[in-house]
Copies of this chain bind each other. A is one copy, B any other.
């Protein structure tokens, strides 16, 4: 049984004044006499009056809600991003409507439509891996709803973006190893048709070039999961005697490699130094703890939300779109500390 929420009309009826007076009194409109104001305000307080956000939104076409679409919540990086989004949104008085695409472009498209139907004031999105078609994003633009892409952007859509410089992260990681004296660095990388696969390899190469170090093509392996390490254990072990460092595209691969090497008698970091990428919760828990590159999920969330809120409050400011590039940070732990 639904209890009828008290409305301005109710208050007006009970106090025998008009709804508009109540409305004005509640928002301290200068026209209203102090007595009426007090009367209305104390009464409203007493009956716990709360404005109906739906009515407000319908009237003002402003919902104070931002929509967020991410591939997977259960992922340390994305949950950090959400945390950043939520904190900034909350501080600015905005609510967050959250959807996950589960890396499924159809679900992503449906989520977009649902957010638009809900009249959200803006949308933050990190594109699903399966997405090929930019049409759903195009609808957001046509709808004139501000949008900010973060981490995984859609190239075809002109918009604000927040990304991390993956290549630079890989360069920093590799440079760190080189600075520690490593000369033969094995890279455990992702498939090159993936953007992160390519960019992180580029960073690896760049660091070598900058240090005038030759790149040994046999020191690149396509290996980016724990399972891959197990499957390719023989190959890794056969390379092991000739290397002094490993750079892996993600933490779990780095940790798996570290464990494989240690099980086979290698000392880390003395003989071989290891660095990962991502700074998930694993990195601190491994033994030795893992040096890695922090992806700044929380900052990405904060920054994208700030950019979105700026667009929302300056809708007709036809200012050029910005792409904010965050530089990943080197996090040094035991796996590279002698």
Which of A91-99, A185-193, A202-210, A303-311 lies on the face that meets chain B?
A91-99
- The complex places the Cα of A287 from the Cα of B82 at a distance, in Å, of 30
Which of A8-16, A168-176, A215-223, A278-286 lies on the face that meets chain B?
A278-286
- The complex places the Cα of A117 from the Cα of B211 at a distance, in Å, of 60
Judged by a CB distance under 8 angstroms, whether A113 is at the interface is yes
> CB distance B143 to A1 under 8 Å?
no
- The complex places the Cα of A63 from the Cα of B63 at a distance, in Å, of 13
Which of A18-26, A72-80, A149-157 lies on the face that meets chain B?
A72-80
Least distance between A105 CB and chain B CB atoms (Å) = 15
Least distance between A213 CB and chain B CB atoms (Å) = 31
> CB distance B95 to A96 under 8 Å?
no
- The complex places the Cα of A188 from the Cα of B173 at a distance, in Å, of 37
> CB distance A113 to B73 under 8 Å?
no
Which of A47-55, A158-166, A322-330 lies on the face that meets chain B?
A47-55
Say which residue of B51, B118, B143, B298 sits within 8 Å of A3 (CB atoms).
Answer: B143
Least distance between A9 CB and chain B CB atoms (Å) = 14
Judged by a CB distance under 8 angstroms, whether A316 is at the interface is yes
With a CB–CB cut-off of 8 A, which chain B residues contact A76?
Answer: 74, 76, 281
Least distance between A59 CB and chain B CB atoms (Å) = 9
Q: Chain A 127-143, CB within 8 Å of chain B: the 1/0 string?
A: 00000000000010011
With a CB–CB cut-off of 8 A, which chain B residues contact A96?
Answer: 97-99
- The complex places the Cα of A119 from the Cα of B118 at a distance, in Å, of 13
> CB distance A83 to B74 under 8 Å?
yes
> CB distance A119 to B52 under 8 Å?
yes
> CB distance B79 to A143 under 8 Å?
no
Judged by a CB distance under 8 angstroms, whether A232 is at the interface is no
Least distance between A150 CB and chain B CB atoms (Å) = 16
Say which residue of B73, B118, B263, B315 sits within 8 Å of A83 (CB atoms).
Answer: B73
Interface size band for A: 35 or more
With a CB–CB cut-off of 8 A, which chain B residues contact A139?
Answer: 48
Judged by a CB distance under 8 angstroms, whether A144 is at the interface is yes
- The complex places the Cα of A76 from the Cα of B72 at a distance, in Å, of 12
- The complex places the Cα of A31 from the Cα of B111 at a distance, in Å, of 33
Given the interface contacts A90-B99, A96-B99, A315-B2, does A117 sit within 8 Å of B285 by beta carbon? no
> CB distance A86 to B73 under 8 Å?
yes
> CB distance B1 to A144 under 8 Å?
yes
With a CB–CB cut-off of 8 A, which chain B residues contact A52?
Answer: 58, 117, 119
Other than the given A50-B116, A73-B86, 14 more pairs (CB < 8 A) read A1-B144, A3-B143, A50-B117, A51-B117, A52-B117, A54-B54, A73-B79, A76-B281, A86-B98, A86-B100, A87-B102, A95-B99, A95-B114, A285-B285
Can you list 24 A-B pairs, Cβ within 8 angstroms, ordered by A? A1-B315, A3-B143, A48-B139, A50-B116, A52-B58, A52-B117, A53-B118, A54-B118, A58-B58, A73-B73, A73-B82, A74-B76, A74-B79, A74-B298, A76-B281, A86-B98, A86-B100, A96-B97, A97-B97, A98-B98, A226-B284, A280-B281, A281-B282, A285-B286
